[in-house]
Structure 1
Amino acid sequence: MNRIFSAFTAILLTLSLTACGATKDNTAAPADDPSAAASQDVTVRIGLTGTFNEDIWAPAAEELAQEGIHLEFVQFSNFSLPNDALNSGDIDLNAFQHHAFLENEIANYGYDITAIGDTYVVAMNVYSDKINDLSELKDGDKIAIPNDATNEGRALKLLESAGILELDPAAGASPTIADITGYQVQVEFVEVDANLVYSTLPDVTLAVINGNYALDSGLTADEALYKESDYTDNSYFGLIAARTEDAENPVYLRIVEAYQSQKTIDIFNNEFAGFFLPAWELDIG
């Protein structure tokens, strides 16, 4: 597990990328037959955040290479970068975000990109070094949450489901602290970058940590005081994104097909038990 996650916060690779050949060279096959997509060798650059994703992608990459589709992974150290790189053409696809994050990015920056397939859901859970049960939470206690719009909203909705606070229903999938309408316990919030929430554990009573960062920090799902478990929509489903003009590219659709396989599910089960679920197989209710 340490091998998988030790490089999760890798430094952003310098992008010296040329124009994407996949879209131009692989348009002959019909879009409804992605398995027939590759007419010749092609390299597709995929933006990721965290080297553990390369382990997840390994079976698909091996299978696709036999068909002449070669995946090149470009690592980014910050969530703010891969969509800009995709939109500008520096990479061909990215696979690092969930639907709520993508929608927020499009609204804020006008990116002309779209989801072409789902990947996984990583649970966001509540951890503590100070208490053993949420009933021990008291007025004045501090809770650390991610400071970006979608993950903060997700954290607040999780705390609402735990009975700690109430949110304005009109706030939707990404509420803010301003949307809190009531507290069961009058807590204070510490807002930090999502990848830094774990480091605040010694200084706060609770920390709401994204599953990937919890894993990177050596935490397990079983250690959580409260777990995310129900999904009423796909807001927090991870996805593979492409530029909108390339959404029907047969090579890209074939990549989605290869990823959404039992071999990928086996990696989720064997390496990420308790955190990762195949989003493409989940029922929303």
Structure 2
Amino acid sequence: MKRRLIAAVVSLFLLAGSQAGLAATLKVGATPVPHGEILERVTALLEERGITLEVVEFTDYVRPNLALQDGDLDANFFQHVPYLESFNQDAGTSLVALAGIHIEPLGVFSEKVASLGELPARASIAIPNDATNGGRALLLLQEAGLIAVDPAAGITPTIFDITENKLQLRFVELEAAQLVRSLPDVHAAVINGNYALQAGLNPITDAIFLEGAESPYVNVIAVRAGDEQRPELQQLVEALLSDETRAFIMEKYEGAVVPVF
């Protein structure tokens, strides 16, 4: 009898431990600004729900997806859906967007000119070298009236899809994380919002041309396919979509990061 009672108690203990472990810790990869800062902001909200959030910072756009696919992370927060879909296709990963959180407007920055109208003929323009952000940059430059691209290229045009380039602009394709460093060497650079903020640039005040808030490039929490219903990941999304998080984003970034909820 005593032996059965002990066995029952041990079983209950193990079950409780397993359930606690399910929601005990979440390891989420993120680029430092603004994603890491936003995640740090919800740490306390998750602790109230019994979840410890561990933020793992990355400074590039490749390793956080590979780490998630390999099971080293439970989720990541740094990318928009077009990039995620392109990465899945190229790398053979099976990652999915769990929830959209915010938009970081893409901007044109320069240390040499104060406006697009000051760009000289054959000016050098640095853009991201990945297909989705590079295409996004070219579409932004088209919106600014500097170039035209073939509509058949959709949302991922390349420099080979440029059909009009009156200033004969020269494009320098670089890894997104290197674009800020390129500013002294080029006439202008099209820089992702997170890297601009990380370098101390405010897209609202420092960009000479800025993407509109209606952009379709919403930054998302990404997870492995099949993990969408994990309770602790649902709790993470709930915390990120809270009124507290929205207020933090609006106050902290003053329009340089725009919540979509």
Structure 2 counterpart of 1:191:
173
Amino acid at match of 1:227: L
- C-alpha distance in 2, partners of 1:63/1:95? 17
Partner of 1:237: 218
Counterpart mapping for 1:1-285 below 5 A: 42-50=24-32, 52-220=34-202, 221-231=204-214, 234=216, 236-279=217-260, 281=261
Distance in 2 between residues matched to 1:199 and 1:41, nearest whole Å: 40
Seen in structure 2, the aligned counterparts of structure 1 residues 102 and 25 have a Cα distance that, compared at 3 Å, is: farther
The answer to whether the 8 Å contact 2:59/2:177 transfers is no
Contact 1:125 1:226 in 2 (8 A): yes
Change (3 A) 1:25 1:96: farther
TM-score, normalised to structure 2's length? 0.87
Aligned-residue offset at 1:133: 2.1
| 2:74 alignment partner AA | D
Larger radius of gyration: 2
Q: Closer, same or farther in 2 for the Cα pair 1:169/1:40, shift >3 Å?
A: closer
RMSD of aligned residue pairs (Cα, Å)? 2.0
The Cα shift of 1:78 comes to 2.0
Partner residue, 2:6: none
Distance 1:167 1:25 in 2: 55
Which ranges in structure 2 are unaligned for 5 or more consecutive residues?
1-16
Superposed displacement of residue 217, structure 1: 1.9
Q: 1:163 to 1:230 in 2, by over 3 A?
A: farther
Long gaps (5+) in structure 1 = 1-23, 27-37
* Matching residue's letter, 1:107: Q
Aligned partner of 1:48: which letter? A
TM-score normalised according to structure 1 size? 0.80
Do the aligned partners of 1:51 and 1:75 also contact (CA within 8 Å) in 2?
no
Percent identity over the alignment is 39
For residue 137 of structure 1, report the CA deviation from its aligned partner. 2.1
Q: Which protein has the bigger helix share?
A: 2
Q: Is the 8 A contact 2:33 2:195 kept in 1?
A: no
Asked if 1 retains the 8 angstrom alpha-carbon contact of 2:105 and 2:256, the reply is: yes
SS at match of 2:218: coil
Cα distance in 2 for partners of 1:237, 1:162 equals: 21
